[in-house]
Amino acid sequence: MSGQSHYQLFETAAGVAAIAWNSRGISCLRLPAPDPKDSNRAMARQLPGAVRADPPPEVGAVIEGTARYFGGDRVDFSDVAVDLGPQEPFFTRVYAIVRQLGWGETTTYGAVARMLDVGPEYARSVGQAMARNPVPLVVPCHRVMAAGGKIGGFSAPGGAMSKARMLALEGVALPDSAQQGFDF
């Protein structure tokens, strides 16, 4: 991997995803969208200087793992090198906690705040960190839910419906109230 940012689009069972990388690791992962143009535009917006390129083997492994994940396979991304770019120190701490969540394991925004030894009033700040997560799935923000088993927000294509589908892939039983309006 070189210092230049590169990216590539790739197919999954859920649509076309995009991944970007640099010499330090994966710097962006765009979850699947139905239209490849959406994924391409998102990469251009998020990383304007990135060049589309063939991925090196370590990035190819993440692409393959992501495709397997959306095909329903249990995949662990905890050892993937990431470059989250400049982050608020609080966000960096949030990402480190969330990165420890395994397949099918969920928590809440408030629980993450408690793990960081900050008050429950920081739950909203945890949610902001999740919304700005540049590498969803690798930092599994979809596993962080709102209080009471509610889905909470999700800034990826498809919004909360995509989050619910990802949790369902992992075998997470959602309360009926969390599934209302979702056609699985």
Is pTM beyond 0.85? Reply is: yes
pLDDT (tens digit, 9 = 90+) per residue, 153-163?
Answer: 888 878 889 99
- Which helix (H) or strand (E) segment is 60 a member of? helix 57-70
Q: How far apart are CA 144 and CA 130, in angstroms?
A: 8
**Known catalytic residues?**
141
How do residues 169-182 score in pLDDT, each as one tens digit?
999 988 764 444 44
Note down pLDDT in tens along the chain; length 184 residues: 446 899 999 999 999 999 999 999 999 999 999 989 999 998 999 898 899 999 999 999 999 999 999 999 999 999 999 999 999 999 999 999 999 999 999 999 999 999 999 988 899 999 999 999 999 999 999 999 998 888 888 888 788 899 999 999 999 988 764 444 443 3
Cβ(182)–Cβ(161) below 8 Å: yes
Indicate the pairing of strand 6-12 with strand 15-22: antiparallel
| Structural domains for the chain | 6-70 (3.30.160), 89-171 (1.10.10.10)
Across the beta sheet with 15-22, what order do the strands follow?
Answer: 25-33, 15-22, 6-12, 51-52
What is the structure's pLDDT at 174?
82
* 135 contacts 26 by C-beta, under 8 angstroms: yes
Report the distance separating Cα 87 and Cα 91, nearest Å: 6
Radius of gyration (C-alpha) of the chain in whole angstroms = 16
